[in-house]
Amino acid sequence: MSLEAYFGNKHVIVTGGSSGIGLALAETLVRLGSEVTLVARREGPLLEAKAKAEAARPGARVHVLPLDISDAEAVQVGLTPHLEAHPAQMLINNAGVAMPGRFLEMDPAQYRQQMDINYFGMLHMCQVVVPHLVAQGGGHVCNVGSLLSVMGIYGYSAYAATKFAMYGFSECLRAELKPLNVRVTMLLPPDTDTPQHAMEIAHLPEETKAIAGNVKMLSAQQVADACLKGMEAGRFDVVPGMDGRMTVTANRWLPGVARWVCDNAAKKVSGARGEA
């Protein structure tokens, strides 16, 4: 099936649709003929994103829903009437935050904050949207994880825990929803050139930079294109880019070697600082 046939005339909800990967997804979906709802906290960037998405196709239907997905009640109250007015067929849980740092130096509040948005935010959206999809006889949920959904590296103990949690949840959801005609996809992007990534770089330990340098950074558009292609193909795991796919494969089949490569990259930096 073509992407136009799969996504055209479908209403797709995209969380984090005002920036980065979410905005690239929204603009591409609009070009493919989808009706799109963009969810994020700040209304200003949402309205700017709506204007950009509408410019992608004359007559496009783009809605904005300003809400904080970490607030279960706000999601319920904001989304329920919206779905009644505009039934949806797909949900892309893309909103997320990342704050790297060494465990021993990390603000303890970061562990809960990132889990509240990345994991519980996704969960709150699923709790409202999945019953709606099932009631309509089918649909598709895509959860945006990370390469750090399947491997943990130096400097990401808070973030990787949230993305591993998403992965476990999504595997269970896939199995339960398959007989109900709702597909589940898990997107595992590598480093992607977005506003969040630019902010992350400023906080990355040198060891993490040395490890991450092994995987080529992609553009938000490359990640969005891979995501939609993988969804249309009905895949569960979607890993954009060759480097990302090789990393996931190596980590899955040769985890000891993958750890050795990462440890050595980190050691070179720690060694240069006189710590090893």
Ligand X SMILES: NC(=O)c1ccc[n+]([C@@H]2O[C@H](COP(=O)([O-])OP(=O)(O)OC[C@H]3O[C@@H](n4cnc5c(N)ncnc54)[C@H](OP(=O)(O)O)[C@@H]3O)[C@@H](O)[C@H]2O)c1
Q: Please provide residue 147's backbone torsions phi and psi, each rounded to the nearest 5 degrees.
A: -55, -25
Stretch that binds ligand X, among 67-75, 130-138, 174-182, 232-240 (CB under 6 A): 67-75
Known catalytic residue: 159? yes
Please state the closest distance from residue 60 (CB atom) to ligand X, in A. 19
State which amino acid sits at residue 148. L
Contact between 97 and ligand X by CB under 6 A: the answer reads yes
Q: Residues 6 or more apart from 37 whose CB is under 8 A from it?
A: 11, 12, 13, 14, 17, 62, 63, 64, 65, 82, 86, 88
Out of 40, 141, 182, 258, name the contact with ligand X by CB under 6 A: 40
Contact between 170 and ligand X by CB under 6 A: the answer reads no
Relative to beta strand 237-238, strand 35-40 is unpaired
Out of 194, 208, 222, 251, name the contact with ligand X by CB under 6 A: 194
CB 63 within 8 A of CB 30: no
DSSP symbols for 94-153: -------B-GGGS-THHHHHHIIIIIIIHHHHHHHHHHHHHHHT-EEEEEE--GGGT---
Neighbours of 270 (CB within 10 A): 16
Q: Which of residues 125-154 bind ligand X (CB under 6 A)?
A: 144, 146
Please state the closest distance from residue 98 (CB atom) to ligand X, in A. 5
Contact between 205 and ligand X by CB under 6 A: the answer reads no
Contact between 114 and ligand X by CB under 6 A: the answer reads no
How many helices (H) does the chain have, and how many strands (E)?
12, 9
Contact between 251 and ligand X by CB under 6 A: the answer reads no
Stretch that binds ligand X, among 3-11, 20-28, 79-87, 240-248 (CB under 6 A): 20-28
Task: List contacts with ligand X (CB under 6 A).
Answer: 15-16, 18-22, 39-42, 45, 68-70, 94-98, 117, 121, 144, 146, 189, 191-192, 194-197
Looking at the annotation, which residues are catalytic? 159
